[in-house]
Structure 1
Amino acid sequence: MEAAQIDHCDVVVVGAGSAGCVVAARLSERADLAVTVVEAGGSDRSIWVRMPIGYGGAFYHPTLNWRYYTEPDEGLGGRKAYWPRGKVVGGSSSINAMVYVRGQAADYDGWAAAGNPGWSYRDLLPYFRRLESNVTGASEWRGGDGPISVRDVAAAAHPLSHAFVEAAVQAGFTRNTDFNGADQEGVGFFQVTTRDGLRCSAATGYLHPALKRRNLTLLTDAAVTRILFDGTRAIGVEVVKGGATRRIMARREVVLSAGAIGSPQILQLSGVGDPAKLAGLGITPVLDAPTVGRNLMDHVGFDLLYEATVPTLNQTLGPLFARGLAGIRYLATRDGPLSLSVNQAGGFVRGGPERARPNLQLYFSPLSYTRAVPGKRRLTQPDRFPGFMIGISNTHPKSRGWLHIRSADPAAAPEIHPHYYSEPEDLEELIDSVALMRGIAEQAPLKRVIKRELTPGPEVTDRGALVAYIRATTTSVFHPCGTCAMGPDAAAGAVVDPALKVHGLTGLRVADASIMPAITAGNLNAPSLMVGEKAADLIRADL
């Protein structure tokens, strides 16, 4: 047998996703560190990545997307949930809806209070400011010259998005012009990560500029099959690229940034997990760490679908001629609907006066669509009629799931058990939210453009029927996290310590959304970028 190729570096980063791009770019600022990034996916030079609205084409893309499915879930009435994750340079920041939300200050203060010093909102605000270049400029809360460009879409948003915000204000909710400012609560327009009409992913902002440095190397289409150990010290990774196996040895550290699914999967393949389960799969245990893959969290939600009396984005993105005009406008100006996300407006609200802080996230889309069928077509198809959707999800779901490898085959997707609605409170607050959404739709700015509520339909009002509708239509909001949870004590369930070092091992850290001990309110890309910034500082301080 031919000997595997062996390469050497100081730090190997596994995964060029949201956090991995940040870690690699920041560490390579030190000229004395040789950094190698290993990415299972390929190039991000795709129209479905670069054009903001293109994420509809990436949603089921066979090479840009891992296209995971959960196991049949009781909370969804026995259905499987689809989990798209980026299999491309930039990771999920290259295929997501680009919505930029930091979360609530209390989220991070809760992390710190749970025994994670240095992770309070006051501690983390400098990292959020450092990573961001807000088009409105720097302030006490916002960054002005960071790698990730953040744009407010209010001026360019569809007229129906403005109608939604006005209706929500008339329904009694506070107007908020900046969900990432002093307070998250209220309704308004989301901010997105775009620059000059193109997606500004972690690869765009961090990795591609950093690759000009001679001490940074990127390997694409290279799948890490396991971490290599000398006893309990991580010393490198094994990689398959082009059918050949090679080893990348790390003189200083291995940083696992493969995401909430990939990071626990690689740990388990490497012998870090439940010893009995791993041995049963033919894997030699390295560390007894049964909570790897546990504490799985995700945001889930559903929509109310309305038929409108006025044109929506369905008429802009559906007919071939209209799409052509939008495309010409985009190519000429880098502006228009193709330069935006369809998630334009929304908010963070309390489901009742007893709530201490917002427990629900609202989403408004001036478009309605039928999701693509895997294997039949790639694109998400707008409905033929003028329609729009009002959606909602829990900001802090209590349900917890788990994931685990099925076999010792690195190419096999793990089994994923989200256990949605396993905590009854998660379902109860969403049942109650239907009246909240309908209350917004009843306000004049929206009511005058609504022809009818299509689903579930105005006749569906009793709790039993609403439960059936919610279970039948709930989807993931695609925010998995928590599977390598951070905490001071492995015995209490933590996988990594507050310095992101894996408990019981040396030379190995995890830096991505998997380290979140509790899910944050809203979309997770901004928190994942922050984790990358924080991790880079922690690593540099030790090196």
Structure 2
Amino acid sequence: MARAVAATHVTGFDYVVCGSGAAGSVVAGRLATDPDVRVLLLEAGGADSGPEVRLASSYPTAQFPALFREYRTAPDPQLGGRSLVQLGGRVLGGGSSVNTMVWARGHRDDYDGWARTTGDAAWGYDAVLRRYLRIEDWHGVPDPQRRGTGGPVHVAPAADPSPLATAMVAGAAGVGIPAFDDHNATMMEGRGGAAIANLIVRDGMRHSMADGYLHPLAGRPNLTVLTGATVDRVVVEGRSAVGVEFRRGGRRRTVRAEREVVLSTGAFETPRTLMLSGIGDADELTRIGVPLVAHLPGVGANFVDHSLVATCLFEPPVPVPPRNNKAEATFFWPSRDDLDVPDMQPFLIEIPHLTEAHAGRAVPHAWSLSPAIVRPRSRGRLRLRSADPDDTLDVEWNPLADPDDVRVLARATELCREIAHSPAMAPFVARELLPGPVRGAELDAFLRAGVTSYGHASGTARMGTDDRSVVDPQLRVHGVDRLRVADASVMPTITTGNTMAPCVMIGERLAELLTS
């Protein structure tokens, strides 16, 4: 089957969609279902046909550099001078083609909060749930009110999970965290729980958003997909976006959009493209010599990500081979008794998950239970070093800037150790390798040496109506006509859990707006 539609020229399009990730694939695919709408989809990466992408058991990591763009933070004194690396998907399907395949829709409170922030009920949980019902082809315990069937995205609990994963769910139940059949649905309408993870895996193969929304349309004359096309800037005439400049095959090209331009290049590249187009903080743009188009100081601000600590590490008495995506069980739970929503999401990782600080503690067949925070208070910022599109992006994350985030991660670590040492998990623990019964300063040092990115960068072109927001509730860039954004950058607050599914939902919302 063809993986993309080739093109010899780039003219005559109604919409230009930049980025084929979890939201961009949705927008382009939904628009192209109308044969009278001409859509161009630009993707900086290549095809998604390699076994390192297709096989769920061998999802790619940084040893496949062609599939990723790397973003590195400056050395952080709060982390002992460590510099953290974050990766963005650079392949057809974007992050959905290279991530851990976890389908986490977020919590009811996330979306009701978005509706309050934007004043738009279309972002509230009830409306969002209707979108998810349309998106999903659910293959788990039936729940017609909360899970959709027949949609473009194949979702199911991890098939035949490792006994280590089922033991983790039982261990969580043993310490008071209720077990659920589905880690979305009712579990994410209350305080949380533990469950085998929902995955976008079908018959051992990854089911990316390119699989769901683009490949079924291969051969349609009104959809053109160009891979290897790096977008440099949006072309703005007066106050309207009229096209984009991009590079492909060593040539620089300009393509016009008769209706609208859509940026779906993610929380790093979308603000970069906006700033290179003259849309951002006026002082920052003057510093790098980019003419101002629209003063939006929120571009690149409000950077937020989930922190994942590497790791609580255990050696089993006998090897326990990983299955599926090697990360089949998780739990969501509040860090305090007075919270009624979860702010922690540790994940069982069936192989060692370590930073360079702890790499020497790994042994063959060890497994990890990684503490994590999913409602962080810490915020950072992205900045351009120059007007060169290939220059390094300065990433200021500050993952532990807020003391409460440290508290939550400390509590998550204690809970992970308690679950790992529960009777249900005893058959899988010969010894604890990290961190041991640490407290106080030792626990703090463990967290700072182990904090990593969950890979959920968000918020850098956030949606809202105040003077620090970048897009309005209809995802239109403030002050620039015919330009919209649909990706994790628009999130007013980061969702509770992995961010792929919410990005698909955001893409569906924009498709609604553009086709209604």
Q: SS state of the match for residue 84, structure 1?
A: strand
Q: SS state of the match for residue 228, structure 1?
A: strand
Displacement of 1:45: 0.8
Match among 451, 469, 489 for residue 474 of structure 1: 451
The answer as to whether partners of 1:360 and 1:392 remain within 8 angstroms in 2 is yes
Equivalent residues in 2 for 1:98-497, closer than 5 Å: 98-117=101-120, 118-136=122-140, 139-153=144-158, 155-184=159-188, 185-302=192-309, 303-313=311-321, 337=323, 340-369=324-353, 384-458=363-437, 460=438, 462-489=439-466, 491=467, 493-497=468-472
The farther-off stretch of 168-177 and 470-479 is 168-177
The farther-off stretch of 262-271 and 63-72 is 63-72
How many Å separate the matches in 2 of 1:451 and 1:196? 33
Match among 57, 74, 78 for residue 53 of structure 1: 57
The answer as to whether partners of 1:76 and 1:420 remain within 8 angstroms in 2 is no
Displacement of 1:176: 1.3
Query: Are residues 381 and 162 of structure 1, via their aligned partners in 2, closer, same or farther at CA, if it must alter by over 3 Å?
Result: farther
2:3 is matched with none
1:376 is matched with none
- Any unmatched runs of 5+ in structure 2? 1-8
Displacement of 1:175: 0.8
Q: Deviations over 1:150-188 (max 9, x none)?
A: 1111x5111111111111111111111112112321111
Q: Deviations over 1:51-90 (max 9, x none)?
A: 11222x3334211111221222234222111111100000
Q: SS state of the match for residue 155, structure 2?
A: strand
Return the TM-score normalized by structure 1.
0.89
Displacement of 1:383: 5.4
Equivalent residues in 2 for 1:24-39, closer than 5 Å: 24-39=28-43
The farther-off stretch of 90-99 and 448-457 is 448-457
Q: Deviations over 1:458-499 (max 9, x none)?
A: 3x2x2111001100111111100000000023x1x1100000
Displacement of 1:138: 6.2
How many Å separate the matches in 1 of 2:426 and 2:210? 42
Match among 5, 8, 15 for residue 12 of structure 2: 8
Amino acid of the residue matched to residue 224 of structure 1? V
* Equivalenced residues, count: 502
Displacement of 1:433: 2.4
How many Å separate the matches in 2 of 1:64 and 1:525? 17
How many Å separate the matches in 1 of 2:427 and 2:92? 45
Q: SS state of the match for residue 351, structure 2?
A: coil
Amino acid of the residue matched to residue 389 of structure 1? S
The answer as to whether partners of 1:71 and 1:417 remain within 8 angstroms in 2 is yes
Displacement of 1:6: 5.9
Matched, 1:515 2:490: yes
How many Å separate the matches in 2 of 1:41 and 1:495? 26
How many Å separate the matches in 2 of 1:6 and 1:144? 37
Matched, 1:78 2:56: no
The answer as to whether partners of 1:138 and 1:144 remain within 8 angstroms in 2 is no
Amino acid of the residue matched to residue 356 of structure 1? D
Q: Deviations over 1:395-447 (max 9, x none)?
A: 20011111011111111231111111111110111112222122212211212
Query: Are residues 416 and 308 of structure 1, via their aligned partners in 2, closer, same or farther at CA, if it must alter by over 3 Å?
Result: same
- Any unmatched runs of 5+ in structure 1? 317-336, 374-379
How many Å separate the matches in 2 of 1:225 and 1:44? 23
How many Å separate the matches in 1 of 2:151 and 2:360? 35
Displacement of 1:246: 1.0
User: What RMSD, in angstroms, separates the aligned Cα atoms of the two structures?
Assistant: 2.0
How many Å separate the matches in 1 of 2:330 and 2:28? 33
**Identity over aligned pairs, percent:** 39
1:504 is matched with 479
Query: Are residues 102 and 471 of structure 1, via their aligned partners in 2, closer, same or farther at CA, if it must alter by over 3 Å?
Result: same
The answer as to whether partners of 2:345 and 2:374 remain within 8 angstroms in 1 is yes
Displacement of 1:128: 0.8
1:324 is matched with none
Query: Are residues 382 and 143 of structure 1, via their aligned partners in 2, closer, same or farther at CA, if it must alter by over 3 Å?
Result: farther
How many Å separate the matches in 1 of 2:226 and 2:61? 22
How many Å separate the matches in 1 of 2:332 and 2:373? 10
1:327 is matched with none
How many Å separate the matches in 2 of 1:214 and 1:32? 10
Query: Are residues 210 and 383 of structure 1, via their aligned partners in 2, closer, same or farther at CA, if it must alter by over 3 Å?
Result: farther
How many Å separate the matches in 2 of 1:72 and 1:220? 34
Return the TM-score normalized by structure 2.
0.94
How many Å separate the matches in 2 of 1:440 and 1:516? 32
Q: SS state of the match for residue 24, structure 2?
A: helix
How many Å separate the matches in 2 of 1:99 and 1:450? 26
